[in-house]
Amino acid sequence: MANLIMEKSNYNLTKILGLIKYPLLTEKTFDLFNKNEYTFIVNKSLRKDEIKSSLEKIFNVKIIRINTLILAPKFRRVGRFLGKKSTYKKVIIKLKKDDFIPDIFN
């Protein structure tokens, strides 16, 4: 019975791993590294508790605070055609003072 529960939690973790897309690396997020804050782009369907538990398991860190925001679509013009960039969800996490994510640049 316990084996089945473990398989289910591993399945959920791998499912959530696929929904955490990539870390966001911009000038503003590089400044946040000094404050021990990291930014990720995730799927819009994830909740804060799912994001927190999966990132804590993946990177073996303790998350103190998590902020999420869904960015509005942006309109872009290419020549005479007008289109829009799709929306996405951005997550900013703050880690405990001694924790850090070393492999974020790879």
What backbone torsions phi and psi does residue 56 show, to the nearest 5 degrees? -65, -40
Which residue type is seen at 69?
Answer: L
pLDDT for 105: 59
Could you give phi then psi for residue 105, rounded to 5 degrees? -85, -10
Cα(60)–Cα(56) distance, integer angstroms: 5
Do residues 36 and 64 make contact, with C-beta atoms less than 8 angstroms apart?
Answer: no
The burial of 86, by beta-carbon neighbours within 10 Å (0-12 exposed, 13-18 middle, 19 or more buried), is given as exposed
36 vs 2: which has the higher pLDDT: 36
Q: Into which CATH architecture does domain 2-98 fall?
A: 2-Layer Sandwich (3.30)
pTM: 0.78
**Mean pLDDT, rounded, for 65-94:** 94
Which band of pLDDT confidence, cut at 50, 70 and 90, is reported for residue 35?
A: very high
